[in-house]
């Protein structure tokens, strides 16, 4: 199914200081799907083209002192794919970390629908700290939307 854009209201409890957000939703024929299971399906095996983009991103941000190493960002914390898992309950899993230029959260939510389907929402919340965060977000935005829609299509 095709992902559709969902409006987001800020502030959001997962990142109260967020100043940017987007959210996409898809519906799947998987009753009882939890948010953590949806997040794992979305992020544990990323397509090769996404891995290539992330490698390029990590190389490009290193000179600016930004975190390019997901292992370091998630040290001692459970992960879903490359993202640290900050909290999880059946209907919502929150992933993300904080950096010098911005803090981000990925909120995966599931909602059982009455027709043997589950709505899966993937929300991205960003709190930009400085001009580098604003520029970074502007540069990655076209790729971000492609990646989110691709990850939702694999759930």
- Interval 128-141: pLDDT, tens: 999 988 988 898 89
Over residues 43-56, the pLDDT tens digits come to 998 878 777 777 77
CATH of segment(s) 4-153 = 3.30.530
15 within 8 A of 129, measured Cβ to Cβ: no
Q: What is the pLDDT of residues 99-155, one digit of tens each?
A: 888 999 999 999 999 889 999 999 999 999 999 889 888 988 988 888 898 899 889
pTM, to two decimals: 0.87
In the chain, which ranges are continuous DSSP H helix? 35-43, 48-61, 70-73, 131-153
Q: What is the C-alpha separation between 141 and 146, in angstroms, rounded?
A: 9
Q: Are 151 and 43 in contact (CB under 8 A)?
A: yes
> For the chain, which residues make up each domain, given as ranges?
4-153
């Amino acid at each position: 199914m095709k992902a559709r854009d969902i409006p987001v209201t800020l502030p959001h409890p997962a990142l109260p200081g967020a100043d940017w957000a987007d959210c996409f939703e898809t519906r799947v024929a998987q009753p009882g799907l939890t948010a953590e299971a949806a997040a794992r399906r979305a992020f544990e095996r990323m397509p090769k083209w996404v891995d290539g983009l992330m490698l390029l991103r990590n190389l490009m941000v290193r000179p600016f002192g930004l975190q390019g190493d997901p292992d370091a960002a998630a040290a001692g914390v459970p992960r879903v794919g490359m993202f640290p898992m900050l909290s999880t309950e059946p209907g919502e899993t929150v992933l993300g970390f904080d950096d010098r230029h911005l803090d981000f959260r990925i909120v995966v939510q599931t909602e059982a629908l009455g027709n043997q389907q589950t709505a899966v929402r993937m929300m991205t919340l960003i709190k930009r700290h400085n001009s580098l965060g604003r520029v970074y977000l502007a540069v990655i935005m076209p790729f971000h939307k492609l990646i989110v829609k691709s990850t939702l299509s694999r759930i």
